[in-house]
A and B are shown apart, each in its own frame.
Chain A
Amino acid sequence: MVQPPIHVGMTGISKTYDGHSFVVRNLNLEIAKGEFLTLLGPSGSGKTTTLMMLAGFEYPSSGEITLDGRPIQDKPPEKRNIGMVFQNYALFPHMTVAENVGYSLRVRGLSKEQIGARVSEALAMVQLSSLAQRKPAALSGGQQQRVALARALVFEPSLVLMDEPLGALDKKLREDLQLEIRRIADRLDLTVVYVTHDQHEALTMSDRVAIFSDGCIQQIGSAQDIYGCPANRFVAEFVGDNNCLDAKVISIEGELVRARLPGGQEVRARGSAHSKVDQRATIAIRPESIRISGQARAATLRGQVCDIIYCGDQFRIHVELPGGERLIAKSSSSLGVRMEMGSPVLLDWEPHDAWALDGR
């Protein structure tokens, strides 16, 4: 398979405002041409700062940023030719939709005819041709976001940055626009760096997701990698629901490990290359992977029901283990109805669905 060429490179990037606390710490990132990369993380994790350094609105304290192999960190934003979509749209309120979209072309000194043709093409792409003469204030949030998208794409940048572009929209509209942005990015073969704190958005839209925390990338990979194979406890807890249990590895059986919980019960999970006997580990297991039953089987864990929450399509059953830890299991059947608070239950899972992560 031919690797697509590297489009954006960030090497050893750090950002600090005061010299000792780092917003971004020694970041290394390579983005392939045509890739849709999402930076996902809680607020203050450094994902927006990373995006702003790519756009040129923040300057890295150290490190190098390259675009198509050429360093760009000393170039001002207006010379980078990068499209940007802002969270609050940042449309020019005194200009019409068409003037907003055509702004980049006017600044570049294109002729009126060229501008007109490309603006109407861009507006057709986001299905807003009929609103070209409106002012932004007369548009809905979703329409404003489409204008911002058309404005960021009309000058044909090869790299487009999006800073939580759908954050202010309601759920239905957000899902529609997610699909639309992805469709346009694929059609124009754009490289997109997309910042969000919404994990569903990240998992559904991206080729790769980079999980940010404390100014570092905790894990980078496809949505399946991130969700199914978390690299550490932070990723396990941040992406999707995960039960995380402190445990100690007692034996290694091929790619599985056997670990003991503080309450004395033993569980099995997939280990990593670094797993060692007697090491502390975090056992991560997703609620939907836990089987819960009332009768004895080759069960692995015993516990007591301490809460049953009805969520429409399923029950979420909170189980307390003898060591005091709590697990959440999902049950879609009517099983939840038959269970009662305080009743003893047995839990088990396929060992391959659980992960023994290094450290705690």
Chain B
Amino acid sequence: MSRRVYSEFPAYIRIPLYAFVGIALLLLMLPLAVALPISINADPWFTYPFRAISLRWFTQLFSSPLWTGAMVNSLVIAVSTTVVATILGTLAAIGLVNPRFPFRAAVMALAISPMIVPVVVLGLGLFIFFSPLGLNYSYAGVVIAHTILASPFVVITVTATLTRFDFNLMRAAAGLGAGRVTAFRTVMLPIIAPGVAAGAIFAFASSFDEVVMVLFIAGPQQRTVPKQMFTGLREQLDPTILAAAAVMILLTSCLMAVAYNANRKR
């Protein structure tokens, strides 16, 4: 298959195409470009132009126990969610690529439904469901809630990787004496690792900036950065929120870059 190079297209197609893509990207970036610089405004106002530039909001972010506690919570919950969602999602994907899986299409639809169902509905449902179980206002409850939202990302990325996986390799491994677990660990996992890693990063990101579930399920002990930002918006609006946002964006961008590089090396 020969790939068409864009410079081969005639100018009357190429220029509008570039322009359209440029505008679309700009639309995605513009809100960030407007909001983020305010985090280095020396004054506590959300207005341009700045009178002076300072890192005081970042200092405040990292010195306030309210914010540092929220950051620790966010990381703990996101990492736990990532581990649980990656394991569950990978196992689900392995089962769901098997054409003999009963009611495969229906189960697949169910597995990725949390991406489609409104989170408010899920959150309310979980809140009611968790009450008799005592899972509201607990770390476990928040991790379960986030796992529900994060697993579909893993299912989708791992399924995509597995469709290119040659299952004869698992037969070959079995024929050479490897049990199922050994064969999975030594043959399948190393080959599908990029898909699993990509799914894990999406899972992390989806938990790390999640706010709706947290508003329903989390108590004061489980206050995460997005929840802190949300309360901050209502109670004491100052650019610390934007400093927190900048840190979160930086962190997730780094993760994405790592994943991109890991995928490219293969």
Please give the residue numbers on chain A whose beta carbons come within 8 Å of chain B beta carbons, in ascending order: 55-57, 76-78, 80-84, 86, 88, 90-94, 103-104, 107-108, 151-152, 155
Task: Report whether B187 and A77 are in contact in the complex, using a CB–CB cutoff of 8 Å.
Answer: no
Name the residue of chain B whose CB is nearest to the CB of A87. Answer: B168
Task: Report whether B172 and A92 are in contact in the complex, using a CB–CB cutoff of 8 Å.
Answer: yes
Task: Report whether B171 and A94 are in contact in the complex, using a CB–CB cutoff of 8 Å.
Answer: no
A108 to B177, CA, bound (A): 7
Known: A92-B187, A93-B191. A86 touches B176 (CB 8 A): no
A25 to B182, CA, bound (A): 35
Interface string of B154-178 (1 = CB under 8 A from A): 0000000000001011011111111
Complex interface: chain B residues within 8 A of A108 (CB): 177
Task: Report whether B176 and A151 are in contact in the complex, using a CB–CB cutoff of 8 Å.
Answer: yes
Complex interface: chain A residues within 8 A of B179 (CB): 76, 78
A91 to B176, CA, bound (A): 12
A108 to B178, CA, bound (A): 8
| Interface flag for B22 (CB, 8 Å) | no
A57 to B168, CA, bound (A): 10
| Interface flag for B190 (CB, 8 Å) | yes
| B173, B176, B178, B179, most chain A CB atoms within 10 A | B176
Task: Report whether A77 and B166 are in contact in the complex, using a CB–CB cutoff of 8 Å.
Answer: no
Can you report 21 A-B residue pairs in the complex whose CB atoms are below 8 A from each other? Answer: A56-B174, A57-B171, A76-B179, A77-B171, A77-B174, A77-B175, A78-B174, A78-B178, A86-B168, A88-B168, A92-B191, A94-B190, A103-B173, A103-B176, A103-B186, A104-B177, A104-B178, A107-B173, A107-B176, A107-B186, A151-B172
Picked from B175, B186, B190, the residue with its CB within 8 Å of the CB of A82 is B175
Supply 19 further A-B pairs (C-beta < 8 A) apart from A78-B178, A92-B169, A107-B186.
Answer: A55-B171, A55-B175, A56-B174, A57-B174, A77-B171, A82-B175, A83-B175, A90-B171, A92-B173, A94-B190, A103-B176, A103-B178, A104-B178, A107-B173, A107-B176, A107-B177, A152-B175, A155-B176, A155-B177
A83 to B183, CA, bound (A): 16
Please give the residue numbers on chain B whose beta carbons come within 8 Å of chain A beta carbons, in ascending order: 166, 168-169, 171-179, 182-183, 186-187, 190-191
A76 to B174, CA, bound (A): 8
Task: Report whether A84 and B175 are in contact in the complex, using a CB–CB cutoff of 8 Å.
Answer: yes
A82 to B174, CA, bound (A): 10
Known: A81-B177, A94-B191. A86 touches B182 (CB 8 A): no
CB distance from B174 to the nearest CB of A (A): 4
Q: Secondary structure of the A side of the interface?
A: loop
Name the residue of chain A whose CB is nearest to the CB of B166. Answer: A90
Complex interface: chain B residues within 8 A of A55 (CB): 171, 175
Complex interface: chain B residues within 8 A of A82 (CB): 175
Tally of A-B Cβ pairs under 8 angstroms: 64
Complex interface: chain B residues within 8 A of A93 (CB): 191
CB distance from A41 to the nearest CB of B (A): 21
Instruction: Give the top 3 A-B pairs by smallest Cβ distance, nearest first.
Output: A104-B176, A90-B172, A84-B175
A93 to B172, CA, bound (A): 12
Task: Report whether B177 and A84 are in contact in the complex, using a CB–CB cutoff of 8 Å.
Answer: no
A81 to B177, CA, bound (A): 7
Complex interface: chain B residues within 8 A of A103 (CB): 173, 176, 178, 186
Complex interface: chain B residues within 8 A of A83 (CB): 175
CB distance from A13 to the nearest CB of B (A): 19
A78 to B178, CA, bound (A): 6
Complex interface: chain B residues within 8 A of A56 (CB): 174-175
CB distance from A340 to the nearest CB of B (A): 51
Task: Report whether A78 and B177 are in contact in the complex, using a CB–CB cutoff of 8 Å.
Answer: yes
Complex interface: chain A residues within 8 A of B171 (CB): 55, 57, 77, 84, 86, 90
Complex interface: chain B residues within 8 A of A84 (CB): 171-172, 175
A307 to B182, CA, bound (A): 62
A164 to B172, CA, bound (A): 15
A104 to B178, CA, bound (A): 7
Complex interface: chain A residues within 8 A of B191 (CB): 92-94
Task: Report whether B175 and A78 are in contact in the complex, using a CB–CB cutoff of 8 Å.
Answer: yes
CB distance from B180 to the nearest CB of A (A): 8
Complex interface: chain A residues within 8 A of B174 (CB): 56-57, 76-78
Complex interface: chain A residues within 8 A of B190 (CB): 94
CB distance from A91 to the nearest CB of B (A): 8
Known: A78-B174, A84-B175, A92-B187. A107 touches B168 (CB 8 A): no
A94 to B175, CA, bound (A): 18
CB distance from A59 to the nearest CB of B (A): 13
A76 to B178, CA, bound (A): 10
Complex interface: chain B residues within 8 A of A94 (CB): 190-191
Known: A93-B191, A94-B191, A107-B182. A88 touches B175 (CB 8 A): no
A151 to B169, CA, bound (A): 13
Task: Report whether B166 and A107 are in contact in the complex, using a CB–CB cutoff of 8 Å.
Answer: no
Name the residue of chain B whose CB is nearest to the CB of A104. Answer: B176
CB distance from B244 to the nearest CB of A (A): 40
Known: A77-B171, A93-B191, A103-B173. A88 touches B166 (CB 8 A): yes
Name the residue of chain B whose CB is nearest to the CB of A57. Answer: B171
CB distance from B248 to the nearest CB of A (A): 34
